[in-house]
Structure 1
Amino acid sequence: MTDREFKKYVNTEIMEYERYLEGEKRSENTIKEYAHFVKDMLLHLKKRAEEITAQDLKKYKMYLSTKKKYSKNSLYLAVEAIKAYFKYKNMNVARDLKAPKRPKQMPTYLTEEEVRRLLNAAHDNPRDYAILSFLAYSGLRVSELCNLRIEDVDFSERIVRVHGGKGDKDRIVVISPRAIEALEEYISTRNDSLEYLFSSRKSEKITRVQVFRLVKKYARIAGIKKEVTPHVLRHTLATTLLRRGVDIRYIQQFLGHSSVATTQIYTHVNDKMLKSVYDKVLQEY
């Protein structure tokens, strides 16, 4: 098989794998990541799927770890993608391939003052201000925000219906009056008939990449030194709700977590909270 023929084979494999993942109701982000990792593996090994051995996969995992310097988290994702691929192919070659344990990292979040600065930085751009307000006040995943249609928002009740969230689950999210006001102002500037809530100049709905770039842009303008992403705003909302005494079970439902164990990561506390609790409980012996 020539190099050109092999590349064509790889592209066909990836397209079919992506269709399989879509049928499995995997998220848009998971499909993109898994396709990337499997394509990289096939191109590196230069073998068709049925020619790949368990030893090849062990060597490839070592290559990712030592040569490409993958973090534990990236290596975990790569191994999971490869195992899912060979499961789809009905092959047992990846059965004994072990993924490293993912490190449990404290989630990054913004202070309330940093959130105000972020929103103020976008105040003169109705669409961008509405997007940032929506992320800050709703805790939506970026893919959920991109897929929202105008009909999904009940403006009078301040309710958003999220369809096909992570795990293909629907849920209802409540948002603040301020986010609704920002959204209404943005919609009043539009003169199109597009069904999606947030659009861009190039497409009828905004993309994940565009939202990531938008968030980073305004974080930079606001002078925030942290690495700010849409997910950081999700962490921030969960942290703020918890700090203000909201029961973790409500936060679980609000964020769309299938298990409260996932929500437990937000029970981290900052130094100020820790000192406050300590001083209330234990002043002196």
Structure 2
Amino acid sequence: MAFEAKIITHKSKKRIAVWYPNQQELITRFRKLDDAKWSASLQVWHLPDTTENRIKFSIELEEIPHINFDKIQEIENFKKYLNTKRYSSNTVKTYSEALQTFLMFYNDKNVKTINNQDVVNFYNNYILKKKLSISFQNQVVNAIKLYFKTIKETAIIIEKIYRPKTQKLLPNVLSKEEIKQILNAHSNIKHKTMLSLIYSCGLRRSELINLKLTDIDSKRNIVIIRQTKGKKDRIAPLSLKILEMLRDYFKIYKPIVWLFEGKEAGTLYSEQSLQSVLKQALEKTNIKKPVSLHWLRHSYATHLLESGTDLRYIQELLGHNSSRTTEIYTHVSTKNLQQIKSPFDDL
């Protein structure tokens, strides 16, 4: 496609402005890029000034200090490798950015000479020093292991790359009363239906956004959730109350392809907009907890468990590979705890 791109400063931040023919297909494609925005004042689309975006839009990289072009090419090759392995776009983005952080830390060192001690030094002098999360460290480990498997000559012994000790965190769960407040907060039928469907089927954020009209089977009362985490399909029971809500929503919005579409017909609803829907709902309630969309999924699983649903069925409904992942909900269910009498009551 024909376009013109250059670096601009917008609201005190460096951005890449992109001009191209005013065609709906091009606009739709551009809007899918991470953090792509339209500036009404400048009358131009713009996105973050990153190495990846500069490469994508053919902008000179000399302005970026200390860039090793060989490593940039290595990262691009790694992305292509992940794509051929059919990793999801989110995973490709996460792993390539994690690898980029690691390789740029050793910007002046040949990739073939990077060894296991360098990995340990990166843990200490970058991850721990910046107080980055265990989750990020695990992403780096995954990226490094995958990347160095593709390198013919390497000083890295992949089997000796270790992970940080896993944190045993309990899932965040809301009460049924709190869930009801959140789901009833919106008068907008679209927003209310989106949040209700996430809770009623235990969906991940991306799973809701990628639902198509054909994934709602009203005759069998099921939702078909396709190619989810781990490239699996699964089904979830569709509440009759949700089905009625979906029918009311459809009469008003008449989506074409996706069940919930963006402002432009036929386009995906954005993750940022969905987050905003939840944020607005919380502002209308008295709930002060830092609720995320994933809390609705956790609450769904826990409430199923408390109502007597077998853990094996919950595992299938959530799409977990291992029953151990699902068992964590037994630690937050209050059903059995409420039957325990504290010895304090006998004092």
User: 1 or 2, which has the higher strand percentage?
Assistant: 2
1:91-135 deviation digits (Å, cap 9, x = unpaired): 46252221112211100011111111111112x222211110110
Q: What is the percent sequence identity of the aligned residues?
A: 33
Query: Which residue pairs with 1:186 in the alignment?
Result: 249
Q: How far, CA to CA, are the matches of 1:28 and 1:277 in structure 2?
A: 46
Shift in CA distance, 18/210, structure 1 to aligned 2, threshold 3 Å: farther
Tell me the CA shift for residue 191 of structure 1: 4.6
Tell me the CA shift for residue 152 of structure 1: 1.0
Structure exhibiting the larger radius of gyration computed from Cα positions:
2
Task: Return 5+ residue gaps in structure 2 as ranges.
Answer: 1-60
Q: How far, CA to CA, are the matches of 1:89 and 1:243 in structure 2?
A: 50
1:77 aligns with 2:143: no
TM-score, normalised to structure 1, is 0.86
Provide the secondary structure at the position in 2 that maps to 1:273. coil
Query: Which residue pairs with 1:159 in the alignment?
Result: 222
Letter in 1 for 2:164: P
Tell me the CA shift for residue 19 of structure 1: 3.3
Q: How far, CA to CA, are the matches of 2:66 and 2:212 in structure 1?
A: 42
Are the equivalent residues in 2 in contact too, given 1:138–1:175 (CA < 8 A)?
yes
Query: Which residue pairs with 1:52 in the alignment?
Result: 114
| Aligned partner (choices 70, 81, 84) of residue 20 of structure 1 | 81
- 1:1-285 map, 5 Å: 6=67, 9-47=70-108, 49-90=111-152, 91=154, 93=156, 95=158, 96-122=160-186, 124-191=187-254, 193=256, 195-201=257-263, 204-269=267-332, 273-279=335-341
- Which stretch of the first structure deviates more once superposed, 148-157 or 62-71? 62-71
Q: How far, CA to CA, are the matches of 1:267 and 1:160 in structure 2?
A: 26
1:160-213 deviation digits (Å, cap 9, x = unpaired): 1111111111111112122222222222222553x1111112671123333233
**Aligned-residue RMSD, C-alpha:** 2.8
1:215-253 deviation digits (Å, cap 9, x = unpaired): 233223323222222211111000000001100011011
Aligned residue pair count: 279
TM-score, normalised to structure 2, is 0.72
- Which stretch of the first structure deviates more once superposed, 147-156 or 12-21? 12-21
Letter in 2 for 1:50: K
Q: How far, CA to CA, are the matches of 2:147 and 2:283 in structure 1?
A: 39
User: 1 or 2, which has the higher helix percentage?
Assistant: 1
Q: How far, CA to CA, are the matches of 1:8 and 1:206 in structure 2?
A: 36
Which structure is higher in RCO with an 8 Å CA cutoff and minimum separation 6? 1
